Chain A
């Protein structure tokens, strides 16, 4: 499982698409998945976002529902079948968005306790909100209410809000980089440079696999005095246990 993380506008979908094509050309079966793409909750989330009345807790839980649906129905079966799973964002984005909204990150970690440990997390890093905003403007993407963190009331207009919100997000991502061991890539460079870095790192990973029993043994989130992870539903095999046996 390979995760591509990074905030809005850094090029995650561009690179995920490029990686998919490249991996398939090398004979790998690929599943690519990302936020709001679940059959269960994807449409509901998009509709809920249009009215701008989505509360901070509700948003988190709706995304968690979307994630777990994809995990159980798409990611786990694909992994079992030997696919490479490319995930556009993972629980780290959820944690960052929650933290910036004043929500207890311990709560988020508990909700996602059944998430698998990815084999690699690539963080596409842009060093400032200023650089991000240049992309938003030059690409013609425009300002999205939620990407600008408008629900937080940080600025008078979308632009000011975007800068304030993304600055906070970038700070949180930097902290998580060290905590979770992200492979950090400078995403300010050309698409080609970033793509090459990704390919190099991923071929090492896929084409020289680690000793299988080392896979997924360390917990994603160290559960010190937290309650035990969610019991997987009956049709889900606990891959951590499988790897250990």
Chain B
């Protein structure tokens, strides 16, 4: 089993991180389109999307079956399936893989929920280290507004209701997101995350991302003779 930082693949892995409402998914979608238009082979992997695991996750969320440890492990199971099937093979094939959320999401959430910091990193130690990991930093109140306005109500685990920070979902969510942001900030130096100021315009952020990414691309386009 090869561990984080020790994989050597011809492909490139770019991931986006940040709280919901930070604009990361929009930026990733724009990047995806651009890379395809430029002729690169691109694959995309989304958080919590493994066909083998996502039904179990959905059921558990609905029936409130999780503890901090099992929440962490089931999400790691989903991630392992995507790593084995959707991330590693294309990277071995020299393609570009984009991921919306990565292991840092787990680290931030699970630690905020009370899991041991070292343990959670051990669990995910099989993950491929990204070529670049973007962290979209948005001020907490901006992200909060976007999330709260985009949904009719906050979901149980999303608000961290099982932890017992507050009986009020919005209050609980705010506390949860605050802790998550603290973890993200620590991880910037720990993992060398590339911080993108999410308060700037969409175009400005995209330009910055494309510039950074181009430095890592060396003509892996689909040529005419491919």
> Which of B53, B121, B163 contacts A62, CB < 8 Å?
B53
A35 to B4, CA, bound (A): 29
A228 at the interface (CB under 8 A from B): yes
Tell whether, in the assembled complex, residue A228 and residue B116 are in contact, meaning their CB atoms are under 8 Å apart.
Answer: yes
Does any Cβ of B come within 8 Å of A55's Cβ? yes
In the complex the two chains form, is B70's CB within 8 Å of A231's CB?
no
- Inside 8 A of A44's CB, which chain B residues have their CB? 52-53, 55-56
Q: For chain A, which range describes its interface: under 10, 10 to 19, 20 to 34, or 35 or more residues? A: 35 or more
Would you give the 0/1 interface string for A93-130, flagging 1 where the beta carbon is closer than 8 Å to chain B? 00000000011100100110110000000000000000
The docked-state distance in angstroms from the alpha carbon of A40 to that of B66 is: 8
Q: Does A211 contact B (CB under 8 A)?
A: no
Instruction: Please tell me if the beta carbons of A61 and B68 are within 8 angstroms of each other in the complex.
Output: no
B67 near A48 with CB under 8 A, answer no
Tell whether, in the assembled complex, residue B119 and residue A110 are in contact, meaning their CB atoms are under 8 Å apart: yes
Kindly state the separation between the CA atoms of A102 and B60 in the bound complex, as whole angstroms: 31
| Closest CB in chain A relative to B176 CB, distance in Å | 14
Q: Is B119's CB under 8 angstroms from A231's CB?
A: yes
**By the criterion CB–CB under 8 Å, are B126 and A107 in contact?**
yes
Task: Tell whether B114 is near chain A: CB-to-CB under 8 Å.
Answer: yes
- Determine the chain B residues whose CB is within 8 A of the CB of A68 once the complex forms: 67, 69-70, 73
A184 close to B (CB within 8 Å): no
A58 engages B65 (CB within 8 Å): no
Chain B residue contacts of A114, Cβ below 8 A: 69, 119
B1 at the interface (CB under 8 A from A): yes
Render A14-30 as a binary contact track against B, CB cut-off 8 A, 1 for contact: 00000000000000000
If A104-B1, A107-B126 touch, whether A53 touches B52 (CB-CB below 8 Å) is yes
Which B residues lie within 8 Å of A233 (CB)? 67-69, 114-115
Find chain A residues with CB under 8 A from B80 CB. 55, 57-58, 60-61
**A contact residues around B85 at 8 Å (CB):** 53, 55
Decide: B67 and A62 in contact? CB cutoff 8 A: no
Cβ of A166 within 8 Å of any chain B Cβ, yes or no, is no
CB distance from B106 to the nearest CB of A (A): 12
**Does A172 reach chain B (CB closer than 8 Å)?**
no
- With contact pairs A58-B84, A61-B77 given, residues A230 and B116 touching in the complex (Cβ less than 8 Å): yes
With both chains docked as a complex, state the minimum distance between the C-beta of A138 and any C-beta of chain B, in angstroms: 34
Given the interface pairs A40-B60, A233-B114, the reply to whether A61 lies near B69 with Cβ below 8 Å is no
Asked if residues B126 and A65 are in contact (CB atoms below 8 Å), the reply is: no
Closest chain A residue to B2, Cβ basis: A104
Contact of B122 among A41, A227, A235 (CB under 8 A): A227
Asked if residues B52 and A48 are in contact (CB atoms below 8 Å), the reply is yes
Interchain CB contact under 8 A, B84 and A227: no
**Chain A residue with Cβ nearest B82:** A58
Q: How far is the CB of A36 from chain B (nearest CB, A)?
A: 12
Which residues on A sit within 8 Å (CB–CB) of B76? 61, 65
- Docked-complex contact B73 and A57, CB < 8 angstroms: no
For A51, list chain B residues within 8 Å (CB).
52
| CB within 8 Å of A: which B69-100 residues | 69-70, 73-74, 76-77, 80-81, 83-85
**Are A111's CB and B123's CB within 8 A?**
yes
Give the residues in chain A near B66, CB-CB below 8 Å. Answer: 40
A86 to B7, CA, bound (A): 41
State A137–B133 Cα separation when bound (angstroms): 53
Q: In whole angstroms, what is the CA distance A70 to B80 when docked?
A: 21
Q: CA separation between A106 and B125, bound complex, in Å? A: 11
A111 to B74, CA, bound (A): 12
B37 proximal to A (CB < 8 A): no
B residues within 8 A CB of A43? 56
Q: How far does the alpha carbon of A69 sit from the alpha carbon of B67 in the complex, in Å?
A: 8
Apart from A65-B74, A110-B122, 4 more pairs, CB < 8 Å: A57-B80, A61-B77, A62-B53, A227-B121
Can you offer 6 A-B residue contacts whose CB atoms are under 8 A? A41-B70, A47-B55, A58-B84, A60-B80, A72-B69, A110-B119
Report which B residues bind A (CB closer than 8 A).
1, 3, 50, 52-53, 55-56, 60, 65-70, 73-74, 76-77, 80-81, 83-85, 114-116, 118-119, 121-123, 125-126, 163-164
Question: Could you tell me which A residues sit within 8 Å of B by CB distance?
Answer: 39-41, 43-44, 47-48, 51, 53-58, 60-62, 64-65, 68-69, 72-73, 102-104, 107, 110-111, 113-114, 226-236
